[in-house]
Structure 1
């Protein structure tokens, strides 16, 4: 068994680390606190080709393997998890189009999505439907050579920049089971009736907007039906969300790594009773446990990513997302404890890490629901432990 990255992956990680250390870490805390959109960071990611990480090379993308994909989100989240969200939703939508789009849809959108000239996101969640996607209420009624779409989407990352936005809808609301009547439409942002109504205030996950979108009699050409096939939307979305769970697991590792870095650095310089606090056994125990958990989470994330490379991996990605997200929150809390009172101050990084870590157990399916996904995968024999 080889637990090492290959030479290409190590070099890629080094480039990403340099970018994060130079362009993100110095400004993240100030920009997050002031609500400043990270325009310059987005441009830097585009210049590096990161908007094309899930776009095939024939359309100008990098087409990264899943482990390299995980490295991207780990490293960027080490600097600022919210910025990773900009890239995350875009990358999932690109993969959705690359896997399931028609040749015309791929040629129309993927080349510009790969460069960042176009950006995108994914419209799934609704006010009454989050993890339970079959409960969505947004409908798309066929009217000649168009679909007429009505509904509301919530928590949409990149909502103000996405063009097109893949939107999960019900083309047959009466279908049973419900997923047989679900489809994905690629809705362009300038379509009449498509309105970003508001930005949703959040505890953390800042740097990117999370918005409510109103779809009011939006007329979408039938040619914008993903893959030119109705009733396959749920399957299309779930195939992309496997990569989404790797994305969240890797983001969690990035948060945990930064929490470790901040705690270790603080323990080396903060003094109490005439000694640096890192000399005290209570602090040493926290640092050792934190480092151990971070490394275990990283290996879990890469293991799940490699499982995706080999085929369907619901169980593996579910396990990784659960474990890594819980490590991220524990790491942030322990780093705050090492900092003592300063850990509660917005002048230090760890309070932001704590606010960002909380989302990781909720995004891409709550951890409790994912435990049922893992259990079902085990029962079917698709995931084997040991």
Structure 2
């Protein structure tokens, strides 16, 4: 056990007590972020040369699971304060870019990664945000949608089209960057999901990530996938623990619910699936060099996210009407965990990636337009 995991577990009771507040008030957990920064849980992946402890992904994953079990929102902040955009900058950025990212994250900033657009979700290469060269830098114009932390994050990693393909740019809030609107989400209600508008937003030359293609930068996103799967796992493990304890406490027909075989089998399935997901996540984290293996990350997130939805659903079922109400956190967990089969790579896109690995070739996703022979019956289309 690392010192950081011990510190995380020390914060769990505090975060668990506050979790319902962020959900109810739809408010970002600034108080929790201050606690995370003070405990050194933001920027754990940052090398010592930039002020961090330089922990491996495998060492960070248990910290995420512990925090997420207490508060899904805070678990998400830990992931994005150690993985994703930060991983890309610390691998491909210039010395100045790395120093900037480290300073902000160690102080508590959760960087925002800006890929998704209204017309470019899973098909990220369809993005239309453009970076136009201007004296001294670049002008960004376009719309980014479902940007986690929009309006809260300081550091933004923005992907935009250039004449040389999609490139990554670092920027901070300023003229030409505004939050157009916030989505009202089903779960993770304290985390803003924003539409950001870039209108003649200037980015200096030194803030473009150098010598890194879109594909290389996206490889860094595999850390985020492992992190997202770990959040889902943490929530589900907490739900399973609560269900187990409830079955021992609750009596019907003059005996504890835990003595009914049907419920025992549900617990056994939950435990087995959680352990399988945990092993896949740890295996993916251990493969990081500097990023996790793409297929291992896809398998791990797929298994963990879908397992979490099933486990939390079963746990809520075990609580009956009590789980459906607001007295227990199960209904909040149910809403929170549903996002993880969507964000950071949908379960269906991940299956496509895994299938391509199994088949040994990448299968085309875009419709292939082929000229029909003369006289062909087009009614079959």
Tell me the TM-score normalized by structure 2.
0.90
Match of 2:220 in 1: 240
1:5-154 correspondence runs (5 A): 8-9=1-2, 11-20=3-12, 22-91=13-82, 92-107=84-99, 109-116=100-107, 118-154=109-145
1:160 equivalent to 2:156? Answer no
1:54 match: secondary structure: coil
Match of 1:272 in 2: 252
Match of 1:187 in 2: 171
Alpha carbons 1:59, 1:114 under 8 Å: kept? no
Give per-residue Cα distances to partners, 1:313-366, cap 9 Å, x unaligned. 111111111111111000011001101111211221111111111111111111
User: 1 CA distance for matches of 2:276 and 2:96?
Assistant: 43
Alpha carbons 2:220, 2:291 under 8 Å: kept? no
Rate the CA distance shift 1:19–1:117 in 2: closer, same or farther, 3 A.
closer
1:51 match: secondary structure: coil
User: 2 CA distance for matches of 1:311 and 1:187?
Assistant: 23
Alpha-carbon shift at residue 14 of structure 1 (Å): 3.2
1:50 match: secondary structure: coil
Give per-residue Cα distances to partners, 1:168-211, cap 9 Å, x unaligned. 00012xxxxxxx51011111112x11001222100002222111
Rate the CA distance shift 1:90–1:353 in 2: closer, same or farther, 3 A.
same
Match of 2:232 in 1: 252
1:289 equivalent to 2:269? Answer yes
Alpha-carbon shift at residue 233 of structure 1 (Å): 4.2
Question: How well do the aligned residues superpose, as a CA RMSD in angstroms?
Answer: 1.9
Match of 1:316 in 2: 296
Q: Give structure 1 stretches of 5+ with no counterpart.
A: 1-7, 173-179, 382-386
1:226 match: secondary structure: coil
Alpha carbons 1:90, 1:120 under 8 Å: kept? yes
Alpha-carbon shift at residue 272 of structure 1 (Å): 1.4
Q: Tell me how many residue pairs correspond in the alignment.
A: 361
The structure with the largest helix share of the pair is 1
User: 1 CA distance for matches of 2:290 and 2:202?
Assistant: 40
Rate the CA distance shift 1:281–1:312 in 2: closer, same or farther, 3 A.
closer
Q: Give structure 2 stretches of 5+ with no counterpart.
A: 362-381
Rate the CA distance shift 1:255–1:117 in 2: closer, same or farther, 3 A.
closer
Give per-residue Cα distances to partners, 1:108-165, cap 9 Å, x unaligned. x034134225442211111111221101110111122221111111111222232221
1:304 equivalent to 2:295? Answer no
Give per-residue Cα distances to partners, 1:26-79, cap 9 Å, x unaligned. 121233122233121110001111221221111011222111121122111111
User: 2 CA distance for matches of 1:40 and 1:312?
Assistant: 31
Which of 197, 203, 210 is residue 220 of structure 1 equivalent to? 203
Alpha carbons 1:89, 1:122 under 8 Å: kept? no
Alpha carbons 1:89, 1:158 under 8 Å: kept? no
Alpha carbons 2:4, 2:40 under 8 Å: kept? no
Rate the CA distance shift 1:215–1:51 in 2: closer, same or farther, 3 A.
same
Which of 320, 323, 326 is residue 340 of structure 1 equivalent to? 320
Alpha carbons 2:180, 2:194 under 8 Å: kept? yes
User: 2 CA distance for matches of 1:312 and 1:88?
Assistant: 14
1:184 match: secondary structure: strand
Alpha carbons 1:315, 1:378 under 8 Å: kept? no
Alpha carbons 1:325, 1:360 under 8 Å: kept? yes
Tell me the TM-score normalized by structure 1.
0.88
Structure (1 or 2) with the larger CA radius of gyration = 2
Alpha carbons 2:152, 2:192 under 8 Å: kept? no
User: 2 CA distance for matches of 1:201 and 1:311?
Assistant: 32
Give per-residue Cα distances to partners, 1:270-303, cap 9 Å, x unaligned. 1212222112112111112111211221111111
